C-alpha cells in the first residue's frame, strides 16, 4: 500500500487518503459555488415577492425561481453530500477511495449537468420550475443536464459503497461495525440510489417526450417525479442527521446514547421513505383515498418515527457529553454552558430546533390527507420546506464546514468572529422567513406567483386580508437576515480556502 498517498490528521489521528481529500475539496467548492448562485437567485426571488420592491419582471422571476430551486435543492446539497460520502467512507475509516477515476467522473458529470441546466434555464429554454410538470416542456438539453447530474451522483454512491467494501476487506479500521456517522451516510446513499433510479424512470421518458418521441401522462409524471422528489429530501435528512452526530462528536465528544436505537432509526428511513411520497399528490385526481392514506399515513409515519427517535437521541447524546464535563446542575445547565461560540455547534443546535419544531411538525401536519386541502401550493408549503431543507439541512452543512476547513482543507478559519455570528444570522433569518411564509400562506398567499397585488391587471383582481402583508414583511426581514448569514458563510469559506493560514 502506497502510504505516501495518506497523511495523518494531527487532531483526530485518522489517516486521510490524499485523493479522497481532493475529492472532498472539489465537491465542497462546487457546492459553495452553487450555494452562491442559488443565494443570488434567492435574493432576486425574495425581492420580487415583496410587493413594494417587485424587482424582477415576470418572465425572469419564474426563470430565476426555477434556477433557485435547482441550484439549492439539487446542486448545492448533492455536491455537499458527495463530499460527505467521501469523508464518511474514506476518512473516517482510514481507507483509500475505491476507483478514484470513477469518483472524478462523478464530479465531472455533475459539473457538466449543472452547466447544461444553467445554460438552458438562463436562456429561457426551461421555464418549467424545478418540478417541470408536463405539459410544460423544456428544451431536451435541460432534461439531459439533469440526467447527467443524476448519473454522476449515482456513480458517487457506488464509489462510496466500493470504498466501504474495500475498507472492510483491507481491515483499515478497527474490527467491528462501521461508525455511526458512516452508517448514517450509508443509509443516505442507499436512499440516494433508489431515488436516482426513480429519477431515471421519470427523466428519461420526459427527455424522449421533449424530443417528440413519446407521450407523457401528467398524473403518472407527478407520481414518479415525486418518488424522486420526496425521497431526495430524505437523503438530505439522513445526511443532515449524520452531520449532527459528526459535529456533536467533534464539538463536545458526544457518544450515541444507543447504537441500536440510532441505527434502527436510520434503517427505518431507508425502508419507508422511498414509498412515502404521496403527500405531494393528496389533492390530485386519479389516486384513491385508500392509496393516499396508506402511503402518507402508514408508511410516512414509520419514517417520521425514525425522526422522532433522532430528535431525542441527538440532543440526549450532547447532554450526556456535557454533563460528563461537569455541567450537572438542574435540567439545563448543560445547555447554558454548551459551546455556543463554536459556530459548528451552534449551527447544528439551531438546525435541530428548526428542522424539528418548524419543519418536521408542519411536514407531518400538512402531509395529512385532509389538512392538505387547506395548504396545497400555498406559501405554507414553501415555509415548511425552507424550515427542513434550509433551516435544517443547509445550516447543518454550513456548521460542519467549520470543521472541514481545518481538517480537510488544512486552513485555519479566516474571520472566526464573523463565523461565530453566521449560524445565528442564518438561523434566526430562516426562522422568520419560514414562519413568515407559513403564516402568509395561512391567509392564502400562493407559492410560485409573480403578482399577488394586481394579478397582472386581471379584472378579477381582489384584496388580501392585510394580515397577509404583515407576514410577508416578516418574511422579508427573515430573508434579509438569512441572506446576510449566507453571505458571511460564503465569504468566510472562500476567504479561508484562498487566504486562510495554512495548518501543518
Partner 1 sequence: MSISVPEKVWWKPIDKEEKIWLAIAIIWMVISFVWMPIYHYIGKQNPSSESYKAPREQFEQLMNDFVQKYQVKDANGAPVVINDIPVVHPPAGGDAYLVGAGWKWTPILELEKGKTYRIHLSSFDFQHGFSLYPLNINYMAIPGQDYVITVTPTTSGEFPILCNEFCGIGHHTMVGKLIVK
Partner 2 sequence: MSDNNEKFGAPGTFVLAIIFLVTFIIIYFLNYKYLASIWELR
Write out the binding residues for partner 2, residues 105-164 only, by CB under 8 A. none
Q: Which residues ranging from 379 to 418 are in contact with partner 1 (CB under 8 A)?
A: none
Question: According to the binding rule CB under 8 A, does residue 60 interact with partner 1?
Answer: no
Binding mask 87-126 for partner 1 (x = CB under 8 A): -----x----------------------------------
Percent helix, strand and coil across the chain, each rounded to 5?
75, 0, 25
- Phi-psi sector, 176: left (phi>0), alpha (psi -120 to 50), beta: left
Q: Among partner 2, partner 1, none, what binds residue 319 when CB lies within 5 to 8 Å by partner kind?
A: partner 2
Separation CA 426–CA 429 (nearest Å):
5
Are 166 and 98 a contacting pair, CB within 8 Å?
yes
Shortest Å, Cβ 485 to partner 1? 26
73's CB contacts (< 8 A; 6+ apart) are: 130, 232, 389
Task: Using alpha carbons only, give the angle 477, 37, 43 rounded to the nearest 5 degrees.
Answer: 20
246 binds partner 1 (CB under 8 A): yes
Q: What is the CA radius of gyration of the chain?
A: 22
Candidates 5-13, 52-60, 97-105, 315-323; binding stretch for partner 2 (CB under 8 A): 315-323
How many Å apart are CA 330 and CA 118, to the nearest integer? 54
Choose the contact partner of 332 out of partner 2, partner 1, none; CB within 5 to 8 A by kind: partner 2
Alpha-carbon dihedral sign for residues 151, 157, 163, 165: negative
Choosing from 31, 32, 116, 180, the residue that interacts with partner 1 (CB under 8 A) is 180
Q: In terms of CB distance, is 144 or 442 closer to partner 1? A: 442
- d(CA 201, CA 275) in angstroms, rounded, equals 15
Is residue 368 near partner 2 by the rule CB under 8 A? Answer: yes
Which of 35, 141, 190, 452: binder of partner 1 (CB under 8 A)? 452
Rounded CA-CA distance 443/376 in Å is 13
- Please pick, from the candidates 1, 2, 290, 331, the single residue that binds partner 2 as defined by CB under 8 A: 331
Dist. CA 186–CA 164, nearest whole Å: 9
Least separation, in Å, of the C-beta of 352 and partner 2? Answer: 10
Using alpha carbons, select from 458, 452, 451, 448 the residue that is nearest to residue 133.
448
Over the window 183 to 222, marking each residue x when it contacts partner 1 by CB under 8 A and - when it does not, the resulting string is ----------------------------------xxx---
Q: Which of 52, 286, 325, 499 binds partner 1 (CB under 8 A)?
A: 286
Which residues would be at the binding site for partner 2 (CB under 8 A)? 255, 257-258, 311-312, 315-320, 323, 331-332, 334-335, 356-357, 360-362, 364-366, 368, 370-371, 373-374
Amino acid at each position: 500500500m502506497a502510504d505516501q498517498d495518506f497523511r495523518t490528521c494531527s487532531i483526530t489521528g485518522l489517516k486521510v487518503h490524499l485523493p479522497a481529500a481532493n475529492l472532498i475539496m472539489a465537491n465542497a467548492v462546487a457546492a459553495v459555488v452553487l450555494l452562491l448562485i442559488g443565494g443570488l437567485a434567492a435574493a432576486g426571488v425574495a425581492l420580487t415577492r415583496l410587493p413594494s420592491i417587485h424587482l424582477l419582471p415576470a418572465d425572469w422571476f419564474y426563470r430565476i425561481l426555477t434556477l433557485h430551486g435547482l441550484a439549492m435543492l439539487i446542486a448545492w446539497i448533492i455536491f455537499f453530500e458527495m463530499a460527505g460520502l467521501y469523508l464518511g467512507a474514506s476518512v473516517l475509516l482510514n481507507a483509500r477511495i475505491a476507483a478514484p477515476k470513477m469518483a472524478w467522473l462523478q464530479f465531472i458529470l455533475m459539473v457538466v449537468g449543472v452547466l447544461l441546466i444553467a445554460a438552458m434555464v438562463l436562456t429561457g429554454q426551461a421555464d418549467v420550475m424545478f418540478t417541470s410538470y408536463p405539459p410544460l416542456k423544456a428544451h431536451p438539453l435541460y432534461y439531459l443536464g439533469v440526467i447527467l447530474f443524476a448519473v454522476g451522483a449515482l456513480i458517487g454512491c457506488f464509489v462510496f459503497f466500493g470504498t466501504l467494501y474495500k475498507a472492510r476487506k483491507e481491515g483499515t479500521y478497527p474490527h467491528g461495525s462501521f461508525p455511526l456517522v458512516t452508517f448514517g451516510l450509508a443509509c443516505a446513499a442507499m436512499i440516494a440510489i433508489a431515488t436516482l433510479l426513480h429519477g431515471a424512470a421519470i427523466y428519461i421518458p420526459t427527455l424522449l417526450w421533449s424530443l417528440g418521441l413519446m407521450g407523457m401522462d401528467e398524473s403518472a409524471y407527478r407520481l414518479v417525479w415525486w418518488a424522486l422528489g420526496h425521497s431526495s429530501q430524505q437523503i438530505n435528512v439522513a445526511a443532515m442527521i449524520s452531520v449532527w452526530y459528526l459535529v456533536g462528536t467533534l464539538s463536545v465528544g458526544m457518544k450515541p446514547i444507543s447504537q441500536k436505537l440510532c441505527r434502527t432509526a436510520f434503517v427505518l428511513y431507508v425502508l419507508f421513505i422511498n414509498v412515502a411520497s404521496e403527500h405531494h399528490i393528496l389533492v390530485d385526481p386519479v389516486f384513491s383515498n385508500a392509496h393516499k392514506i396508506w402511503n402518507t399515513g402508514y408508511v410516512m409515519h414509520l419514517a417520521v418515527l425514525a425522526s422522532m427517535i433522532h430528535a431525542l437521541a441527538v440532543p440526549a447524546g450532547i447532554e450526556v457529553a456535557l454533563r460528563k464535563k461537569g455541567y450537572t446542575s438542574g435540567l439545563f445547565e448543560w445547555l447554558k454552558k454548551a459551546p455556543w461560540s463554536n459556530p459548528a455547534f451552534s449551527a447544528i443546535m439551531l438546525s435541530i430546533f428548526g428542522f424539528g419544531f418548524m419543519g418536521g411538525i408542519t411536514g407531518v401536519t400538512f402531509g395529512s390527507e385532509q389538512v392538505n386541502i387547506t395548504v396545497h401550493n400555498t406559501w405554507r408549503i414553501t415555509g415548511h420546506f425552507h424550515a427542513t431543507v434550509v433551516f435544517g439541512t443547509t445550516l447543518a452543512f454550513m456548521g460542519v464546514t467549520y470543521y472541514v476547513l481545518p481538517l480537510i482543507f488544512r486552513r485555519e478559519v479566516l474571520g472566526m468572529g464573523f463565523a461565530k455570528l453566521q449560524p445565528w444570522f442564518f438561523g434566526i433569518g430562516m426562522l422568520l422567513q419560514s414562519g413568515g411564509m407559513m403564516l402568509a400562506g395561512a391567509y392564502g398567499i400562493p407559492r410560485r406567483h409573480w403578482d399577488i397585488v394586481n394579478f397582472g391587471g386581471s379584472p378579477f383582481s381582489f384584496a388580501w386580508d392585510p394580515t397577509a402583508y404583515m407576514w410577508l414583511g416578516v418574511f422579508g426581514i427573515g430573508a434579509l437576515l438569512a441572506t446576510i448569514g449566507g453571505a458571511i458563510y460564503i465569504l468566510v469559506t472562500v476567504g479561508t480556502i484562498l487566504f486562510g493560514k495554512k495548518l501543518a
